[in-house]
Structure 1
Amino acid sequence: MRLLKKISLSVLLIFVLIVVFILIYGFYLKPKYDGEMVLNSIKKETTVYFDDYGIPHIYAQSQKDAMTTLGYVHAQDRLWQMELMRRIAPGRLSELFGSVMLKNDKFFAGLGMDEDSEKAIAQLDKNSESYQLTLAYLDGINQFLEEGPTPIEFQLVGVPKEKFTIKDVYNIFGYMAFSFAMAQKSDPLMTDIRDELGMDYLKDFGIDGSLAHTKLKSFKEKSEAYSEISKSVASLLENSPVPPFIGSNSWVVGPQKTKSGKVLFANDPHIGFSQPCTWYEAHIVTPDYEMYGYYLAGTPFPLLGHNREYAYGLTMFENDDMDLFLETNNPENENQYQTKDGFKNYQIIEKVIKVKDSSDVVLKVKKSHHGPLLNGLVDGLKEDKPISMWWTYLQHKNQILDAVYSLCHAKNVEDFHQSIELIAAPGLNIMYGDAKGNIAWITSGKLYKMPENVNPNFILNGANGEDEEKEYYDFSENPYAINPAWNYVYSANNQVEPIDDYLYPGYYLPEDRAKRIVQLLEPKNDWTKEDFMKMINDDQSSVAPSIVQSILTGINQNDLSETEKTALNELKKWNGSNALTDVAPTIYNQFLFYYLKNTFEDELGKDRFNILLSTHILKQMIAFQIANEDSPWWDNSSTKDKKESRNEILTLSFQQTISHLEKKVGNQVSGWTWNKVHTVEHKHPLGEVAALRSYFNVGPFEINGSNEVINNLMFTFTEAGNHQVKAGPSTRRIIDFSDVENSVSILPTGQSGNPLSQHYDDQAVMYNEGKFRKMKMNRKEIEASSRKLVFKPR
């Protein structure tokens, strides 16, 4: 009995010691939000107030001190995210995760972004303020890396600590720019359809821009199958531990249309969901500078920001800035390729990729004058059919650091406009509003015109010299609208009006969100911040009800079951809303999958059909194709003795939809509510391990919204009908220049990437409910509600 008692006491003691160790260890790993610290490189004492959501408000005597401090506090909340971000472009994820990331590393290492970063840095003015402030930011990161607690992810994965450099900053911006591009997904698929099925099958896709009915208006005072490329690149971006940029909304309303007579600004960039979330918020105040900004991990200047004078944000332009070329090898020498001037030697580069769980991999990259060959970088491409990739970002001087610095240091709208010329790529719609009543939409990107006979929606001929000809526009020709007569500007990734009678090619999203934004903005002239808060959460589709009407005309309604009749009535009365308790969106989105499958999969095959589901062009064409009785896609190519009609395909798809939903969510149509099938989970890379999922992931949650509504919570159509949200508003921001200190925002999860921080997920429920919190700028209010961390110079 005594022995048993001693054993029990020993076990209890061990358990208590383990608990105490975990508590002490956890306390040590938490971000430090109060007290005093010594910080190298700063000249004078700097104070950081962390508000009730963990957002740092940095008060410093110089911008350099502020940036060093920003680097430190950014790292203590997001060092793991910074580590992942800097490793993608140079192809260094396999060092952490092993061969599971080798495909990603081979692809990105082969593109050459790392080399482009080195070239850009060599051309920098080392005495410029943008360069010096970047070094100060990196100093702060590196001090935390050396002296701060090691993030738990570093310990679980085994991450060696390496100092951050300015090349990391450029590589992070480079990956961001690449994630915007869509050509590598769409062009090979369109080429396959053209070569195998003929141009008639492409009419429904409107690749000539004919489907873009709501266009952004400028206002100026003056036979080889190539879909393996699409499949591979789509898979790489899908499986990347850092999410791609996808779309976005923004609108800015001038004084003439607001109740206060001051500008109102809204922006919600759409990015793949992950944990930690994309943006880190920080408010910097010095005697000569103030900015409340949104930062990518590992970058010193905010891509979104505002102060008391102006606000700016962005959406994706979706312009085509990438071309794929089919090269022709010299039959006598595989290391040469055909050009209009004869054969030229490929540039051959060897790279070594270190892999955690196996031996190093030597990657041999061939480059033509167009760019790197994708053969060997993506699976499924034959060596005798070399495909190269030309990308604006890698072909022009890279001034992205100076450009982003200039955005957050502009003096007026004219200065802001000119700074955008520094961005050759990516193409962005950059939105602006200020306290003086100016509003603007300005596009970035080095735009060009191609010969009339060259269609950039297809893989081009790399040997003839004609397909590569480009006539570059002067930046003054880029679309923009500054203080337009209609008193508002907006962007929802939709097609712009023709530039010099040239409808600029791109991978634009459908008119749904743009049309809804215009519907709401146009008639109203007394907008308030509260109105914007409601509008940015709007989940009503402006186009879905008209698609439903097309569906209803095609379904044979004579022999429907009672359940099918009830479901059809839900669609008939639907106004396009996507609230949690709505039934119609569950029916509608499941129907769209079966309609798409029954219409396209027989010609494309399963793999290429899945590629189609991941493209913007699919979203563009649904409304048009589903109403087109003469579309060649209706016929099922696998039934040789029969030609199917539109009505047959739509009726079959509806019947399959109802049968599926009966099995999935029950026989009562009233129970088929949207919340049962539309959910979101913010996934951490380590959450892929089942035992760690609940610790690192945030969610899952039921959520409203849908594809291509203003509250754009996106999912890919699947037969299972589990509409798991993959992307959406990465923040919702509203700046009111009549009361700038009470402007509002929200993040999808929380400010901190440290799972031990109380700010890891403290905004998630608010975000899902469409709520907001203040972006505080009043110092007295900040001091009264914050924890205080003082950094002292050494």
Structure 2
Amino acid sequence: MVQRTRIELEGLKAAAEIVVDTSGIPHLRAESRADLFLVQGFNAARDRLWQLDLWRKRGLGLLASDFGPGYLMQDQAARLFLYRGDMTAEWAAYGTPNTRAIVQAFVSGINAFIELTQADPSWLPPEFAAFGTKPGRFAAEDVVRIRSHALARNMLAEVARARVAAAGALAADIYRKDIAPPHVLALPDGLDPALIPAGVEDMFLLATAPVTFRPDRLAASLAEAPLWSKVNAQGEVVAEASALSPFEGREGSNNWAVAPSRTTTGRPILASDPHRAHLLPSLRYIAHLTCPDLDLIGAGEPALPGLSLGHNGKAAFSLTIFPADQEDLYVCERHPSDPRLYRYGDGYEPFQTVEETIPVKDASPQPVTLSFTRHGPLIHATATHAFALRTVWQEPGTAPYLGSLAYMDCASVEGFEAALASWASPTVNQVYADTSGRIARITAGKVPRRRNFDGLLPVPGDGRYEWHGFWTTADLPRAIDPPEGFVFSANEMNLPPGDPNLERHLGYEWLEASRAVVISRHLADQAPHGIEAAMRLQNDVTSLPALRVQAVLLAQEHGDWSATATRAQALLADWDGRLLKASAPALLFEIWWMRHLKPALLAGLVADPAVRAKLTPLDNEPLLVHLEAMAREALHPVLTASLEQAWEDCAARLGPDPAFWSWGRLHHAHFIHPQSCLPGSPGRDVGPLELGGSNSTVMNAGYDPGSFRTNVGATFRMVLDVGHWDSSFAINAPGQSGDPRSPHYDDLAALWAEGRYVPLLYSQAEIDRAAEHVVELRPKPAT
């Protein structure tokens, strides 16, 4: 029986409804776009209010007001990266004149739900009661001014590379992070990499860190507030000075579109599975937005209006990250006698300062001074130098994903391409398919023009290394209706042959090509492509690094190998290279490659252990190329010793009998509620769930090498039958709702872990048949 709820909603002009299907997917119906986006905001708050409230307070620097002095430094960092430019230019930059009205309607809906919780506290998620906090009201400006949740790059990589250069080993940095096309690393003129201090990246990491809770952080005094300024390798804010910085650049995505001539349906098929950090609740939220002139379904970020991945009944679209370089760290020489000045050109100019006050729970409001150079916020300073970050976040129109509002009505390739002219952040490969049978891949985003430097290392801030505007969408790669009948992207280096990147410096730091190679082979070799084939491909766990290492292993003579190395070689000999969760060879390979063989290869290449420590985690491709080129006499001891170590490692973890080994016994997903570490928390974790794959497989499942817990991957997947929309499928793990009391909090997790999907219903008849709960919305009478 369908549950029904009736609510009077402030600001609504006509009757509307939310039909929640059995998978927790809400289908919103309104009589106008203004009402529709208001209902979208209301519904986002209905399912994700705790998440939305933390998003806003983290982004605006308001956490300490609720949670105390342990959050003061994170608030200060977040405020450095707020958009502080002209708001008229900001609202005009998203490709549609209605951006401000849409965002205003959306936040009005969020605020209307907050009003509802005040009248009836049972609507309030239980996390608020556990902390004794209340949700804050949203302003439209909050949605666009908060930039620090965006994906941008490559400041962290610049810092890591500078530290390798300071150790005199710049050429070895390629083992930390491969670069392409081939390019000679060189120090910018005037840069002394030894000047880059420890902790230079702390404020950036703090500003972009998620909100986490620990008893000691919540209990921190005002005097202890400065201690909470480090971010560890798990992305948690900590007070330990030895905390390691998270590695940049593992988040990515897959997508592809196949033309009707190569599908089983005779219609295009579009598939998308963005790879982001595993969170609870999920970063993505599936919704269906319907009014008389719009019928849009797919996924987006809960705190934003519209949807960035999905379809509108005529055209389908999805995105992956195009890893262009949108950041540069500037090293500014301070005046020797006046620390308020820094060198620029032939003279000095003053730091610009902004004075703000941060409210703090159980303490007086704390004044802070935020400093800025002409290149951006000051993120660190020593007695002699200041370090400023220039990022596209300072430019109008770079609130991430909000540019999707410009293409939600598109019905042609030309219309889609025109809409992407205003897309700024993040830089993406947009894949498109429509009911006329056309397909495309179009790269979009705001990429700086660097005339005299490559962006791979910090640069002096004295005016010699400047941005000169931005490349346009027309300057970036594209493929429209290609003769092969498909398009795809997987964060690989996809600049076309002959591309003048060595002059344009769009970016050099791509993710390894393994996923892209597997996808392109499937699409080229296994025509026709069907819906089921697309879902299987999204969950494919074939590891190309495994197959390449296996080929090297099997080419070796092993008559003189030890019994342990021989057993290991035999276990891997007939393996198909798939990292299945039930596979013993998959376990042995991942332990061998990640924990023993890669470090052994690096030790043979870089003698100094101090330098080697600066090169982790290691990129796969350079080490694979080196492995494949090694002479037998050098290779033999490396293989045998590391194989023995790997076998013993597996035995120590799972017992001596490989019959009981499996990759999934170690490799797992565990969705952790931010509050669950606290006594009496209403939040509950989801998992552990055994998983296959790795970050080298199409089913991206990158993991922490210590705990083997996955930390990045596709928690949202979508496969669209373009033109026969009710035959489309999706999944969102662990569930649609962020409320621990909801049945849709974790109901999709087991399906997701098994590589299964739920219907992405589009027609009203099918939606009504699958309805579980209908929320009837009526205009609230004027008082």
Q: 1:350 to 1:774 in 2, by over 3 A?
A: same
- Structure 2 equivalent of residue 590 of structure 1: 591
Q: Does structure 1 residue 335 correspond to structure 2 residue 366?
A: no
Identify the range of structure 1 (747-756 vs 587-596) with the bigger mean alpha-carbon deviation: 587-596
Instruction: State the Cα distance separating 1:489 from its structure 2 match.
Output: 0.7
Q: Aligned AA for 1:717? A: P
Q: Is 1:621 the counterpart of 2:613 in the alignment?
A: no
1:524 aligns with 2:495: no
Deviates more, 1:137-146 or 1:389-398: 389-398
Counterpart code for 1:697: D
- Which is helix-richer, 1 or 2? 1
Cα distance between partner residues in 1 of 2:174 and 2:399: 39
Residues 233-287 of structure 1 deviation map (CA, whole Å, 9 limit, x = unaligned): 5687565459999100000001121122211000000011111111222212211
CA-CA distance at 1:40 after TM superposition: 1.9
How far the C-alpha of 1:595 sits from its partner, in A, is: 3.5
- C-alpha separation in 1, matches of 2:86 and 2:283: 22
The answer to whether residue 33 in structure 2 is matched with residue 63 in structure 1 is yes
Residues 555 and 651 in structure 1, CA contact (< 8 A), matched pair in contact too: no
Q: Deviations over 1:319-349 (max 9, x none)?
A: 1111111111121221111122421111122
CA–CA distance in structure 2, aligned partners of residues 522 and 268 of structure 1: 20
The alpha-carbon distance between structure 1 residues 763 and 474, as it changes in their structure 2 partners (threshold 3 A), is closer
Mapping 1:133-212, distance limit 5 Å:
133-148=102-117, 149-172=123-146, 174-177=147-150, 180-204=151-175, 207-210=178-181
State the 1:609 CA deviation. 3.6
Q: Partner residue of 1:18?
A: none
**CA shift for structure 1 position 131:** 2.1
The superposition leaves residues 212-246 of structure 1 with CA deviations (integer Å, 9 ceiling, x where unpaired) of 9xxxxxxxxxx235564457756875654599991
Q: 1:156 to 1:450 in 2, by over 3 A?
A: same
Question: What is the distance in 1 between the residues matched to 2:561 and 2:681?
Answer: 51
* Equivalent residue letter for 1:486: E
Question: Partner residue of 2:331?
Answer: 326
Shift of 1:480: 1.2
AA at the equivalent of 1:61: E
Among candidates 665, 675, 686, match of residue 698 of structure 1: 686
Report if the CA contact (8 A) 2:78-2:208 is conserved: no
Give the count of matched residue pairs: 721
User: Are the aligned partners of 2:540 and 2:697 in contact in 1 as well (CA < 8 Å)?
Assistant: yes
Report the TM-score, using the length of structure 2 for normalisation: 0.85
After alignment, is 750-759 or 118-127 more displaced? 118-127
Cα deviation for residue 371 of structure 1 reads 1.2
1:612 maps to which residue? 616
Tell me, yes or no, if the aligned pair for 1:449 and 1:471 is still in contact at 8 Å. yes
d(CA) in 2 for partners of 1:267, 1:134:
26
Q: Which residue is equivalent to 2:456?
A: 457
Contact 2:375 2:390 in 1 (8 A): yes
- Code of the aligned partner of 2:646: T
Q: Write the letter of the residue equivalent to 1:146.
A: E
Matched residue, 1:708: 696
Q: What CA deviation, in whole Å up to 9, does each residue of 1:590-619 have, x standing for no partner?
A: 222234445658878689848832xxx724
* 1:303 Cα deviation from its structure 2 partner: 1.4
Instruction: Tell me the alpha carbon deviations over residues 640-669 of structure 1, each in whole angstroms, 9 at most, x when there is no partner.
Output: xxxx96655554433332222221111112
Q: Is the 8 A contact 2:5 2:776 kept in 1?
A: yes
Superposed CA offset, 1:60-80 (max 9, x none): 211212222222122111000
Match of 2:42 in 1: 72
Q: CA deviation at 1:88?
A: 2.5
Tell whether the 8 Å contact from 1:204 to 1:625 is kept in structure 2 after alignment. Answer: no
Q: CA deviation at 1:761?
A: 0.7
SS at match of 2:378: coil
| More divergent stretch after superposition (756-765 vs 132-141) | 132-141
> 2:91, 2:99 within 8 Å by CA — same for their partners in 1?
no
Say whether the 8 Å CA contact 2:83–2:393 is kept in structure 1: no
CA contact 1:586–1:673 (8 Å) conserved in 2: yes
Q: Does 1:46 align with 2:46?
A: no
Equivalence for 1:549:
551
Q: What is the CA-CA distance between 1:726 and the residue it aligns to?
A: 0.9
Q: Conserved in 1, the CA contact under 8 Å of 2:179 and 2:509?
A: no
Q: How does 1:391-470 map to 2 (within 5 A)?
A: 391-396=391-396, 398=398, 403-451=403-451, 454-463=453-462, 465-470=463-468
Partner of 1:540: 542
1:264 pairs with 2:269: yes
- Supply the AA of the counterpart residue of 2:484: W
* d(CA) in 1 for partners of 2:64, 2:23: 34
Unaligned runs of 5+ in 1: 1-31, 213-222, 377-381, 631-643
SS at match of 2:256: strand
Aligned to 2:652: 663
After the TM superposition, which residues 453-532 of structure 1 pair with which residues of structure 2 at under 5 Å, given as runs? 454-463=453-462, 465-470=463-468, 472-497=470-495, 500-503=499-502, 504-532=506-534
1:633 maps to: none
Give the 3 Å change call, closer, same or farther, for CA 230–496 of structure 1 in structure 2: farther
Q: 1:557 to 1:224 in 2, by over 3 A?
A: farther
Contact 1:743–1:774 (Cα < 8 Å) also in 2: yes
Counterpart in 2 of 1:746?
731
TM-score (norm 1): 0.84
Residue equivalent to 1:768? 753
Local SS of the residue matching 1:194: helix
1: CA distance, partners of 2:143 / 2:744: 25
Percent identity, aligned pairs only, is: 24
Report the counterpart of residue 13 of structure 1 in structure 2: none
Higher deviation after alignment, 180-189 or 768-777: 180-189
For 2:294, the equivalent position in structure 1 comes to 289
More displaced 10-residue stretch of structure 1: 618-627 or 733-742: 618-627
1:24 corresponds to which residue?
Answer: none
Q: Distance in 2 between matches of 1:771 and 1:704?
A: 14
Determine helix, strand or coil for the equivalent of 2:60.
coil
> How far is the alpha carbon of 1:36 from its aligned partner?
1.4
What is the distance in 2 between the residues matched to 1:126 and 1:733? Answer: 26
Q: Is the 8 A contact 1:120 1:398 kept in 2?
A: no
Q: Hey, what does 1:34 align to over in structure 2?
A: 4
> Hey, what does 1:569 align to over in structure 2?
570
Q: Contact 2:158/2:458 (CA < 8 Å) preserved in 1?
A: yes
1:118 CA displacement: 5.2
Against the structure 1 CA distance between its residues 157 and 734, is the aligned structure 2 distance closer, same or farther, given a 3 Å change threshold? Answer: same
Cα deviation per residue 1:129-158 (whole Å; 9 max; x = unaligned)?
Answer: 332222222221111101132221111122
Deviations 1:142-186 (A, max 9, x none): 1110113222111112223321111221145x2332xx2231221
Which 10-residue stretch deviates more, 233-242 or 321-330? 233-242
C-alpha change, 1:564 and 1:685, in structure 2 (3 Å) is same
Q: Cα distance, 1:434 vs. partner?
A: 0.7
